């Protein structure tokens, strides 16, 4: 049986931050851009796209910073596991592997 590889990033899990930023920006950002566009005259498709990109970029940056700060403060994205527990599980798995090879 192949051992299961685990990751124990120290500090912020940037993969988690990127994924949560992407999803949150779409879920929150799209309605915000739509709501803000109701108060602006956007006669052409070019002006609509330009508005969405400008407002969307600001929303993306604000969301990314907020998610990063949240992850740094709470250790989010680590799967809720204690780093000491993971090390203990790896040692147990090695012992079982050694015992099974007899």
Query: What pTM was estimated for this model as a whole?
Result: 0.64
Evaluate whether residue 29 is within a structural domain.
Answer: yes
Evaluate whether residue 86 is within a structural domain.
Answer: no
Evaluate whether residue 64 is within a structural domain.
Answer: yes
What's residue 34's pLDDT?
92
DSSP per-residue letters across 17-64: HHHHHHHHIIIIIHHHHHHHHTTS---SHHHHHHHHHHHHHHHHHHHH
What's residue 99's pLDDT?
54
Evaluate whether residue 98 is within a structural domain.
Answer: no
**Number of independent structural domains in the chain:** 1
Evaluate whether residue 7 is within a structural domain.
Answer: no
Evaluate whether residue 20 is within a structural domain.
Answer: yes
The residue range of the domain holding 35 is: 14-76
Evaluate whether residue 82 is within a structural domain.
Answer: no
What's residue 10's pLDDT?
72
């Amino acid at each position: 049986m192949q051992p299961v590889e685990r990751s124990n990033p120290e500090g912020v899990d940037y993969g988690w931050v990127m994924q949560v930023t992407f999803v949150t920006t779409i879920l929150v950002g799209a309605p915000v851009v739509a709501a803000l566009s109701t108060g602006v005259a956007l006669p052409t498709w070019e002006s609509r796209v330009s508005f969405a990109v400008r407002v969307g970029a600001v929303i993306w940056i604000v969301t990314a910073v907020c998610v990063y700060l949240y992850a740094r403060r709470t250790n989010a994205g680590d799967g809720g596991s204690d780093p000491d527990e993971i090390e203990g599980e790896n040692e147990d798995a090695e012992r079982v592997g050694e015992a099974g090879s007899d």
